[in-house]
């Protein structure tokens, strides 16, 4: 779907995937006006295709557009584009319950000028690709604590889902890989004391008493839809779910003392994936035995997956069936 200030959103079409032609002076190439979302279409009971909280993705997408001073796509166009795409060929959505169709809606500015100012031309595109589960079922991921780099400063773009944030996290992600970790954990930019989030996931910890704690939203972390769903689902299941600042030193101490027994990453890709250990320059600490997923992590994971795949009742109204 194209946008200009004069015409608004117009010229919606579905075409076979092909190279995009954009001018070398398109502002996205120079100033990074790119925002995106990630969500999954599941094949539910009886072959029905479902989306999980897509209106939350639409709202976050609009918020990202506002932060980057880009054109906002109305919710009905965001949802309509995805549903129309699914209708073209719903065989794309895998029937294996471990798999799903990953959807990547994004907007770029393709206006041609050199200069830092709000653009007036945009292109909204949705890409679709079948994906498997991130969680292997038998392993806990090691996570590298980045003490050198941060992801987002107060007042910055941390809460927006924009390409630039991910460009900035490539080097720390590589640093994590160099230390044998598949994921990086970021601390707050001001004091390097409190945990923000991971490269592409939010993070939660389980205390010995069974309560679950996660860093609060404060403008520097992404408003994860999985994070929000787990908080609400956990409360409904009778768990104590706490949003409060989590200091990295406290986590190292509490995990070593057995006061924090589990840690997990959460996001659309990861759903809920257990974290085995945190590593940093001065040493590492394991959660539980460092190998197997803990009981609270698995309980939440089973409940969330059941809901997302339409296998469990949905008291929240989160699961949207797509009529084909
Ligand atoms: N934090 C970051 C930086 C992410 O990229 C993601 C993935 N979108 C998340 C958290 C998790 O968000 P969600 O649960 O909405 O996928």
Residue 1 has pLDDT above 80, yes or no: yes
For the Cβ of 268 lying below 6 angstroms from any atom of ligand 1, the answer is: yes
Q: How deeply is 276 buried, as exposed, middle or buried, from its count of CB atoms within 10 A (0-12, 13-18, 19+)?
A: buried
- What's the CA-to-centroid distance between 268 and ligand 1, angstroms? 7
For atom 4 of ligand 1, which residue has the closest CA? 200
Residue 139 has pLDDT above 70, yes or no: no
Residue 136 has pLDDT above 70, yes or no: no
CB neighbours of residue 274 within 10 Å: 23
> Using one digit for the tens of pLDDT, what is the confidence trace for 80-100?
999 999 998 778 888 887 889
CB contact at 8 A, 286 and 277: yes
pLDDT for the residue 138: 52
> Using one digit for the tens of pLDDT, what is the confidence trace for 212-239?
999 999 999 999 999 999 999 999 999 9
- What's the CA-to-centroid distance between 192 and ligand 1, angstroms? 21
DSSP H helix total and E strand total for the chain: 8, 17
C-alpha to C-alpha distance for 114 and 283, rounded to whole angstroms:
47
C-alpha to C-alpha distance for 182 and 11, rounded to whole angstroms:
41
The ipTM value here is 0.99
CA 3 to chain centre: 26
pLDDT for the residue 215: 98
Q: Which tokens in the block code for residue 108?
A: 């770029």
C-alpha to C-alpha distance for 79 and 56, rounded to whole angstroms:
10
pLDDT for the residue 137: 54
For atom 9 of ligand 1, which residue has the closest CA? 201
C-alpha to C-alpha distance for 225 and 268, rounded to whole angstroms:
8
Q: How deeply is 223 buried, as exposed, middle or buried, from its count of CB atoms within 10 A (0-12, 13-18, 19+)?
A: middle
Kindly list the distances between the CA atom of residue 193 and the CA atoms of 113, 135, 230, 253, 275, in Å, as whole numbers in the listed order: 41, 29, 25, 14, 20
pLDDT for the residue 94: 87
Atom of ligand 1 nearest to the CA of 169: 3
For the Cβ of 297 lying below 6 angstroms from any atom of ligand 1, the answer is: no
> In degrees rounded to 5, what are phi and psi of residue 8?
70, -155
Domain map of the chain by residue range? Answer: 2-131, 141-308
pLDDT for the residue 248: 98
> Using one digit for the tens of pLDDT, what is the confidence trace for 163-190?
999 999 999 999 999 999 999 999 999 9
For the Cβ of 57 lying below 6 angstroms from any atom of ligand 1, the answer is: no
SS3 content of the chain, % helix, strand, coil (to 5): 25, 30, 45
**Residue entry with tokens 């997956």:** 305
- What's the CA-to-centroid distance between 198 and ligand 1, angstroms? 9
- What's the CA-to-centroid distance between 266 and ligand 1, angstroms? 8
Residue 324 has pLDDT above 80, yes or no: no
pLDDT for the residue 135: 63
Atom of ligand 1 nearest to the CA of 197: 1
Which tops the pLDDT comparison, 39 or 324?
Answer: 39
CB contact at 8 A, 130 and 99: yes
- CATH domain 141-308 topology: D-amino Acid Aminotransferase; Chain A, domain 2 (3.20.10)
Average pLDDT for the chain: 94
> Using one digit for the tens of pLDDT, what is the confidence trace for 35-83?
999 999 998 878 889 999 999 999 999 999 999 999 999 999 999 999 9
pTM of the model: 0.96
What mean pLDDT comes out for the span 113-123?
95
- What's the CA-to-centroid distance between 7 and ligand 1, angstroms? 32
Architecture of domain 2-131: 2-Layer Sandwich (3.30)
Testing ligand 1's pocket by substitution, the residue of 35, 184, 201 carrying the most ligand atoms inside 8 A of its CB is: 201
CB contact at 8 A, 217 and 160: no
In eight-state DSSP terms, residue 26 is B
Q: Which tokens in the block code for residue 256?
A: 């070593």
Three-state DSSP state, 255: helix
Which tops the pLDDT comparison, 131 or 63?
Answer: 63
CB contact at 8 A, 5 and 69: no
CB contact at 8 A, 174 and 149: no
Residue 24 has pLDDT above 60, yes or no: yes
């Amino acid at each position: 779907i194209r946008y200009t200030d004069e015409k608004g959103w117009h010229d919606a079409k579905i075409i076979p995937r092909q190279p995009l032609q954009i001018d070398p002076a398109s502002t996205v190439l120079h100033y990074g006006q790119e925002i995106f979302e990630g969500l999954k279409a599941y094949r539910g009971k009886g072959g029905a295709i479902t989306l999980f909280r897509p209106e939350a993705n639409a709202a976050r997408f609009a918020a990202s557009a506002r932060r980057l001073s880009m054109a906002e796509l109305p919710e009905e166009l965001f949802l309509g584009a995805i549903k129309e795409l699914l209708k073209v060929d719903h065989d794309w959505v895998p029937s294996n319950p471990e798999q799903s169709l990953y959807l990547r809606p994004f907007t770029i500015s393709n206006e041609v000028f050199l200069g830092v100012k709000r653009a007036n031309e945009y292109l909204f595109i949705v890409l679709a690709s079948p994906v498997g589960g991130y969680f292997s079922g038998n392993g806990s991921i090691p996570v590298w604590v980045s003490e050198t780099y941060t992801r987002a400063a107060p007042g910055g773009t941390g809460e927006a889902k924009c390409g630039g944030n991910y460009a900035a996290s490539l080097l720390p992600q590589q640093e994590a890989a160099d230390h044998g970790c598949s994921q990086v954990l970021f601390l707050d930019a001001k004091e390097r004391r409190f945990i923000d989030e991971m490269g592409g996931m939010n993070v939660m910890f389980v205390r010995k008493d069974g309560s679950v704690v996660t860093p609060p939203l404060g403008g520097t972390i992404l408003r994860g839809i999985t994070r929000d769903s787990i908080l609400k689902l956990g409360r409904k299941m009778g768990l104590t779910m706490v949003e409060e600042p989590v200091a990295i030193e406290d986590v190292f101490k509490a995990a070593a003392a057995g006061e924090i027994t589990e840690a997990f990453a959460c996001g659309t890709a990861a759903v809920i994936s257990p974290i085995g250990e945190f590593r940093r320059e001065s040493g590492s600490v394991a959660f539980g035995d460092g190998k197997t997923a803990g009981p609270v992590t698995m309980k939440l994971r089973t409940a969330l997956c059941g809901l997302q795949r339409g296998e469990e009742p949905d008291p929240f109204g989160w699961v949207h069936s797509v009529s084909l």
